[in-house]
Amino acid sequence: MVSSTQSFTFNAENLARAEKIIAKYPAGRQASAVIPLLDYAQRQNNNWLTQAAMDTVAKMLSMPPIRVYEVASFYTMFNLKPVGENFVQVCTTTPCWLRGSDGIVSSCKKKLGIGMGETTADGKFTLVEVECLGACVNAPMVQINDDYYEDLTPELMDKMLDDLKAGKKLAEGSQTGRRGSCAQNGPTSLTEKAKTNA
């Protein structure tokens, strides 16, 4: 963790959000708001938590700081060191691995010139390996910042990284046009519209 001499204060918008969340809990149970408050702090602080930010959350919730550090270090959604502008999280759990996540990892490493847990020199990309992100049916997939990108190939991943480097917005979801979790070749059931008795 970083030095506690740094300071952190919620901006007006996030302070109002935090107070609204805290108000949902009965007296003495405000600690239940720790995860959303840490999320607001992380989003305000370029997607990572300083010790000062965690201390601010602890003070707001009347919690011992160590309890906040425990939460922040337990959940992988919280970053305890700076990350790149594009936080690339590659799922390598069994369904994604069976569908080619090794190729996605190799593509990212080669294209970005970094290894897992590293950030590019320009601060634009951080690459990490994560456990299941819950989009197994459209594997392999990655999460970049808050968005999911599914049905990937190494070639599609290369293009996505090039587009991000160029400042282009990516289309979220399946990169092959698959809708929801239907079969790769399209729906196999409920292919006709239901008739109504009107």
**Mean pLDDT of all residues in 88-115:** 96
Nearest to 30 by CA among 65, 61, 66, 68: 61
User: Is the pLDDT score of 1 beyond 60?
Assistant: no
> In terms of Cα–Cα distance, which of 18, 13, 9, 22 is closest to 53?
9
- Residue 4 main-chain phi, psi, to 5 deg: -80, 0
User: What residues does each domain of the chain span?
Assistant: 12-74, 86-174
Q: Do domains 12-74 and 86-174 have the same CATH topology?
A: no
The Cα–Cα gap between 119 and 127 comes to 7
Listed in sequence order, the residues at least 6 apart from 61 whose beta carbon sits closer than 8 Å to its beta carbon are 22, 30, 31, 33, 34, 37, 68
CATH superfamily of the domain spanning 86-174: Glutaredoxin (3.40.30.10)
Q: Which two tokens stand for residue 95?
A: 């369904």
Q: pLDDT confidence of 184, banded at 50, 70, 90?
A: confident
CA distance 125 to 6: 25
pLDDT in tens, 137-162: 999 999 999 999 999 999 999 999 99
User: Is the confidence at residue 185, as pLDDT, over 80?
Assistant: no
On average, the pLDDT of the chain sits at 92
| Whole-number pLDDT of residue 50 | 97
Q: What is the helix (H) or strand (E) element at residue 19, kind and residue range?
A: helix 12-22
Interatomic CA distance for residues 183 and 173, integer angstroms: 15
Of residues 59 and 187, more confidently modeled:
59
State mean pLDDT over 54-83: 96
Tokens representing residue 161 in the block: 């990284």
- Percent of the chain exceeding pLDDT 70 equals 94
Q: How confident is the model at residue 4, as a pLDDT?
A: 45
In this structure, which topology does domain 12-74 adopt according to CATH? Arc Repressor Mutant, subunit A (1.10.10)
Please report the pLDDT score of residue 198 as a whole number: 59
Q: What tokens appear for 116 in the block?
A: 């897992």
Name the more confident of 53 and 181: 53
Residue 107 has pLDDT above 90, yes or no: yes
- Residue 123, beta-bridge partner list: none
Selected residue with higher pLDDT from 107 and 6: 107
C-alpha–C-alpha distance, residues 118 and 162, integer Å: 18
Only one residue has tokens 């049905």, namely 151
Q: With bands split at pLDDT 50, 70 and 90, how would you rate the model's confidence at 193?
A: confident
